[in-house]
């Protein structure tokens, strides 16, 4: 199983999913937003977004889709 497949193991737990996506993603998005959004809020949205893809059968591009969706959600969030 690829690392992307491992990302979405059923009932693996959201915090583990965020670890697998990587704190690097949280940090990268936080830097892109110039610290205007807290890492905690970004991490929460990453966790929610990973769970949205829990039943994906094709996982090759999931990191790209997750990053894009997180950025979209942050853009829609109040105060951003």
Per-residue pLDDT tens digits for 65-80: 999 999 999 998 877 6
Note if the pTM is more than 0.85: no
The Cα 66–Cα 48 span in angstroms is 10
CB distance 14 to 47 below 8 Å: yes
User: Is pLDDT of 9 > 80?
Assistant: no
CB distance 68 to 43 below 8 Å: no
């Amino acid at each position: 199983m690829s690392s992307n497949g491992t990302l979405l193991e059923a009932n693996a737990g959201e915090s583990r999913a965020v670890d697998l996506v990587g704190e690097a993603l949280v940090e990268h998005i936080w830097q892109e937003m110039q610290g205007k959004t807290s890492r905690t809020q970004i991490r929460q949205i990453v966790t929610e977004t990973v769970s949205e893809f829990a039943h994906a059968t094709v996982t090759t591009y999931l990191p790209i889709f997750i990053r894009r969706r997180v950025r979209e959600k942050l853009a829609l969030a109040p105060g951003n």
